[in-house]
Structure 1
Amino acid sequence: MIRRSFLACCSLSLLALGAAVSPAIADDVKFEKIVVGQTLGGLPIECNVYGDGKDVFWLIATIHGNEAAGTPLVAKFEEWLKANPKEIEGRKIVIMPVANPDGFADNVRFNRNGVDLNRNFPAGNWGEADVKPHGDTPLSEPESRVLMRVLCQYFPNRVVSIHQPLNCVDWDGPADKMAEAMAAKCKLPLNKLGSRPGSLGSFVGTTLGRPIITLELPVDAGMDEEVLWKEYGDALIAALQYKHEEPAKKK
Structure 2
Amino acid sequence: MTERSRETRESIAAIDISRSYRGKGLLFLLSAALLILGCRPRLLPLPLLPASVPPPGIESFIVGRSVEGRPIECVAAGEAGDVLLIIASIHGDETGGTPLVRHLIKVLEARRDLVRSRRVVVIPEANPDGVARRSRHNARGIDLNRNFDTPNWSPGRRAGEIPFSEPESRAIAMVIRTFRPDRIVSIHEPLGCIDYDGHGEAMAMGIAEYSDLPVRKLGGRPGSLGSYAGVDKGIPTITLELPPGASEVPSRVLWEAYGTLLLSAVRYPDPVRELEISGFFRNHPH
Pick the TM interval, shorter chain: 0.7 to 0.9
TM-score, length-scaled by structure 2: 0.77
**Equivalent residue number for residue 239 of structure 2:** 214
Question: Within 1, Cα distance between the matches of 2:252 and 2:258?
Answer: 10
Q: Larger helix proportion, structure 1 or 2? A: 2
Task: Compare relative contact order (CA 8 Å, sep 6+) and give the higher one, 1 or 2.
Answer: 1
Identity of aligned residues (%): 43
**Equivalent residue number for residue 96 of structure 1:** 123
Distance change (3 Å), C-alpha of 1:53 and 1:9: farther
Deviation, 1:32, is 1.3
Deviation, 1:8, is 7.0
**Equivalent residue number for residue 237 of structure 1:** 263
Deviation, 1:9, is 6.4
Which one has the largest radius of gyration?
2
Kindly indicate whether residue 187 of structure 2 is the aligned counterpart of residue 180 of structure 1.
no
**Equivalent residue number for residue 135 of structure 1:** 160
SS at match of 1:79: helix
Question: Within 1, Cα distance between the matches of 2:106 and 2:158?
Answer: 35
Kindly indicate whether residue 171 of structure 2 is the aligned counterpart of residue 150 of structure 1.
no
**Equivalent residue number for residue 164 of structure 1:** 189
Gaps of 5+ in 2: 25-44, 48-52, 271-286
**Equivalent residue number for residue 68 of structure 2:** 41
Q: How does 1:187-202 map to 2 (within 5 A)?
A: 187-202=212-227
TM-score, length-scaled by structure 1: 0.87
Structure 2 counterpart of 1:71, from 98, 102, 119: 98
Gaps of 5+ in 1: 245-251
Deviation, 1:91, is 1.4
Deviation, 1:24, is 3.5
Letter in 2 for 1:107: R
Letter in 1 for 2:197: D
Deviations 1:136-170 (A, max 9, x none): 11001111111111111111000000000111000
Letter in 2 for 1:166: L
Question: Within 1, Cα distance between the matches of 2:269 and 2:5?
Answer: 24
| 8 Å contact kept, 2:55–2:109 | no
Deviation, 1:45, is 0.5
Deviation, 1:111, is 0.5
Kindly indicate whether residue 148 of structure 2 is the aligned counterpart of residue 117 of structure 1.
no
SS at match of 2:101: helix
Q: Which moved more, 1:232-241 or 1:98-107?
A: 232-241
**Equivalent residue number for residue 34 of structure 2:** none
Question: Within 1, Cα distance between the matches of 2:107 and 2:7?
Answer: 32
Deviations 1:110-149 (A, max 9, x none): 001100000000111113xx63101111001111111111
Deviation, 1:4, is 10
Deviation, 1:54, is 2.3
| 8 Å contact kept, 2:87–2:123 | yes
| 8 Å contact kept, 2:187–2:242 | yes
Aligned residues: 236
| 8 Å contact kept, 1:50–1:93 | yes
Kindly indicate whether residue 128 of structure 2 is the aligned counterpart of residue 87 of structure 1.
no
Letter in 1 for 2:202: K
Question: Within 2, Cα distance between the matches of 1:214 and 1:85?
Answer: 26
Q: Larger strand proportion, structure 1 or 2? A: 1
| 8 Å contact kept, 2:147–2:223 | yes
Question: Within 2, Cα distance between the matches of 1:24 and 1:68?
Answer: 25
| 8 Å contact kept, 2:73–2:125 | yes
Question: Within 2, Cα distance between the matches of 1:122 and 1:10?
Answer: 9
| 8 Å contact kept, 1:173–1:205 | yes
